[in-house]
Amino acid sequence: MSADESGQDRKSGAGYEQTAVLPETAAQLVELERLQQALTQAEERAKNHWDQYLRAVAELDNVRKRAQRDIESANRYGLEKFAGELIPVKDSLELAVQNRHGVDARTLVEGSEATLRLLAKAFEKLGISELDPVGERFDPERHEAMMAQESRTAEPDSVLQVVQRGYELNGRVLRPARVIVAKAP
């Protein structure tokens, strides 16, 4: 006689040993609960990572915009320091022109020297330095050869004379020095 014939209910577990069915079902329930917790934690971590990503993107955008504003400001006001240093030089030249009548040559020379000192001081503050390469080896990056001249005393390819001084701004050539270069006799 089978369990169905005897009237026992298979679904309710009546007539079956429950200890054999429950551990498997309990293990599945525990595993399901563990997986649901892991999923919840993973979703929470994903949400946190997404929030961090959005913050990082926003911060990067802010840095880019700030850098762009700084560049625009530097372009717009970069010459302000330069102009401020040159204004006293212009004032000195204007004063010399205004007082040109009735001034002797000595006073005019002294005024010109004072103006030149003002300009040299402004250049120094701005990081502009002169290139005066007499005796140095000719460097086409920093010098412009105007001509070559034979010399028994100077080394070939060295600078004999500076025709026009060059200038550098913080190590970058603004204008190369125009020079006469020595060549072998």
CATH class for domain 128-185? mainly beta
Mean pLDDT for 69-75 is 86
Mean pLDDT for 38-54 is 96
What are 18-37's pLDDT values in tens digits?
444 445 688 888 888 999 99
Give residue 23's pLDDT: 52
User: Which one is predicted more confidently, 55 or 127?
Assistant: 55
What residue spans define the domains of the chain?
A: 16-76, 78-126, 128-185
Output the 3-class SS for 150-184: ECCCCCCCEEEEEEECEEEECCEEEECEEEEEEEC
Is residue 95 over pLDDT 60? yes
